[in-house]
Each structure stands twice: as structure tokens, then as C-alpha cells.
Chains A and B, each alone.
Chain A
Amino acid sequence: MRFQAVITTALVVVVAVAIPGQANAQNPPAGAIFDLATAHPAAFSASAYTQFTTSFVASATSEYVSFAFREVPAYFSFDDASVTQQGSSTNLLQDPGFESDTAANVGTNFPVGWGRWIQPVDTTAIGVVASGNTGDCASSGPHTGSYFWCDGSVQGYDGLYQQFNGLTVGATYTITFWLTDNSGDPMSNPQIDMLVYAGPALPTGTQTIGTPPAPILVTTPVPGTVWLMLLGIGALGLYLLFRRWNAPRIGGIKT
């Protein structure tokens, strides 16, 4: 009994000493709807992208969708994302594959059409626009096209986001993206992890950097039944016009 008490006390001391040693282990913001370390705990092959899917139900007409990264030993490559309303194939994201970027903004932190946030501790080594098989993500390159996002944030998490206005409250929105990692190590929260957030505000404790892009105004997709009704009304209008044109004339005047 005395032995157990001694060992337990020693363990408590060890843990107490260990915790300050982990002070740099920056935890991600709370509230993620997707955690890579859970969805894909195994290591990636750098040259092989994997597609991931998650979803959220809009709780407000205006919401933010964020993709967050932290990669202490190496770099994530991220490309070809989408946000679609269930039942529609329209991608609501602006420049989802980073192809509006140019050689001029490769290596910068600001991809065209995307907003950026960081955790305040994260002052260096945040993600950059990448191109082809060059830079820190050379071993992966883009998933498709020429440009992609390369992120090896070391101090805290940094995020890419877009804001949508005009969402349908209660509707389900599907998020997909392609991702790979060149560390060769298994995913581990918080050192090597990628998370997705969706909500009426940006994740708690983050701060935006640069000039945020204008929110995207979402137009509600017209359901198939409405299209059929419009088609029917159009056909009826044409028929009535045809009848009127071919109606018998009295004194040269159409009846």
C-alpha cells in the first residue's frame, strides 16, 4: 500500500513537470466539425492526395467555412475544395482550386478570394500559395491545375476561410477537399492536424490577417419542380401565342 502511494506521488510529480514542457503544444480552436487526426490517423504518401468530406447544417443565413492547419515537422498540401448545398452541384466557394492565383503571389499568405485567420501565438511560418512541384510542398504539387495551398504552420493553427451570405437556415451543406501531407508521420493533434470549421463566426480565439474578401452572396438553387413549372408556363404561353397568330381574321383584324 505504501509502495503504491509512493509511486502515485512520483507519477503526479512527473506529470506536473511534464506539463510545462508541453506549453508550446498549441491546441486548435474548439468547435471543429472535422478533425483529420480522427478521420485519417495514418501517415500520408506525399504524392497521393486523399479526398475528404464533411457537412454542416446552416444555423444562420451568414456563416464562415474555415480550413485550419498545423504541421510542426513538415507541410500539408490542400487543393480543390467545395461547399455545396445538398441537392445542388454548385460549388459556393470562390477559387476553390487556387487557380486564380498567379506567379506573383506564390509564396505569399494571401490566396485570391480567400480570407485568412491565425491563432495569436502563430506569428511565423503560416501557409502560402504554392505552384507546381516547387517549394516546401514540392513532393506533392497541386492536386489539379497549377496552384494549391501549402501549409506548415509551427506555432499555432492558421486558417483559410470564406464567408457566405444567403444560406438557407436548416439546409445541409457538404464540404469536400483534397489533402496530403509530406511528413511521413501519423497525424497527431495538435502537432500534425487539419480541421474544418463552419459557423456564424470565425473560430474562437482567432484573429484575421490582411483584408477579408467580400462575403459570397449565395443564391438559393431553383429546385427541379420549379424549373418544370416554369417550362410548363413557357410552353402554355407559346401555345396561346400560336393560337392567336393562327386565329381567323375578320376584316383583316385578328380576333
Chain B
Amino acid sequence: MAVYLLKRLLLAVPTLFGASIIIFLLIHIAPGDPVRVMLGPMDDPALRAKIVHQLGLDLPLHEQYLRWLGKAVQGDFGISVTIQRGSPVLELLAQRYSVTLELAFLSTIIALLIAVPAGITSALRQNRLSDHIARIVAMVGVSVPNFFLGIMLILIIGVSLHQPWATGGFVPLSKGLSENLIRMLLPAIALGTAYSAIIMRMLRSSMLDIMSQDYVRTARAMGIGWRSIVRQDIVKNALIPVTTVMGNSIGYLLGGSIITETIFRLPGMGRLIIIGVDRRDYPVIQGVVLSIVLIRIIVNLSVDILYSVIDPRIRYGAEGE
């Protein structure tokens, strides 16, 4: 177990390292002087010198990278240049991530609430009407862009039904849990719908896979009730691959929250990166992207490890290599 864990960790390090090089280079890919690009009309010599120094742009490229990486490892993601000049990027990230993570969490709950019953019903009633309907709805669910769904939710519930909570905007948790949750409901549905369709399809196909296995037939032959087989064996085992798919979908949730936050005017990190791109605030863009990649790698690693705990075959397979 320890060997496997170490192996997975060691594999993640070079990936993270490589990603940090790409993210560092973002500021240098664009042709022209990054400081002029960032400051635009605000460009003046004193400010320019300060920013060049802050970003270490006067150093050779490899030294710049090492300095940037060394600071990033210590949690110093630099200083915002145009959005909120002088504020540490980490501070901006901390303020904004609470919103994004809450959105991601609520979307996952909504996705599971829809996907688990729908997936189980669909698999157990394979090729009956309810299965066909569930699968067609899931197909449409996967295909509907979350920005279209979000706008239609605002239009139908917020505008046509005159529900003030359904028109977007954010209420911080400190102003009351219920007020906060009701504002987050539609964004979570907009983000969670496609996610639920992904989970439902995976659950259905992995249940069908298990239902065709010999041990299920043996259990039935032994006279064990179908309901208890479904509950004890099929659903439990089918949820294992579903967990992996969910872990891999963290990228979808973080990417999707950029759009969802834009539609519903939520002050999360998705909004932050869009403003960052708009105002050419390179340290902010770098900070957001680095944090997203970091979260994604950590979540994937955790899922892999969790998976190897649940299913020892994986671990032995990897160790045997």
C-alpha cells in the first residue's frame, strides 16, 4: 500500500511541475512587453519600475521562474496588478474560492440526487419505457450548455414567475444560511444538470455490467432475493467506477463554474479569472489557473488512492508492474 501511494505521489509531482512551467510562461507567450500590456493607458515610469521589480521581470527567464515557483510553493502567488492593485493574489483567491467551492459542492449534491435514482431505475428497467425516457433526458442534459440552461432558469423562474431569489446575485453565508442557499439553488442546478447526466449514464452502464456477471447469477440461483442482491451487490459495486468518474469531473465543475458564476453574478474564482483576462492581470490569471490545476491533481490523486483502498486489485496490479 505504501509503495503504491508513493508511486502515485511521485507521478503527480512532475505533472504539477510541468503545469507550473506552462502557467509561468503565460505571461511571456504573448508578444510584446507584458507590463505595457497590463498597464495599458496607466503606464508611467515609476509604476512600471515597481511592477517590473515586483514580478522580477528584470531577471533572466530561468531565475524568474525559480523565484516565482519558490514563492508559489510558499503560498505567495504574487500581487494583483490591475484588478485590485497591491492586493496579494492569494487573498483574492481565498475570498473567492469559498463561493466556487460551495457552488461545486451543491452542484454535486443536486447531481447525485438526480443521477442515483434515475441511474438505478434505468438499469433495473433496461429497455423499458422509463429507461428510454431517462436516457433521452440524460442525452439532452449532457448536451444543453450550462449558460443556456442558466439563462432559461432565470427567465422562467426569476422573470416569468417573479421570484426575486432566482435572478442571480450572491448573499454571503454570514447574512444567513437559508438566504445564501436559496440564491445558490439555480446556479447549482445549472451546473449540476449535465453533471448528473454524466453520473447517471456511468451508473447505469456499470450496473448493467455487474448484473450480467456470474456472481449475480449465482446469488440468484442460490435463492437470494433480487432486492437484496441489488442493494447489497449491484448498486454498491456499481458506485465504485462512478466515484472515479466523479473525481475526474472536478475539472468540469471548476471549468463550468466559470460560466455559471458569470450568468448568476456570483463573486467566485471563475468571475475572477474572467476579469483577470479582461484587464490583463497576469498574476491573477496565473494564480487562478495554478490553483485549479492543483485542486484537480489533488482530487484525482485522492480518488485513485481511495479507489485502491476499495478495490485492492488495482493496487496489486500497479505494484506488480
- Chain B binds chain A: no
Q: Which B residues lie at the A interface, using CB under 8 A?
A: none
Q: Which A residues lie at the B interface, using CB under 8 A?
A: none
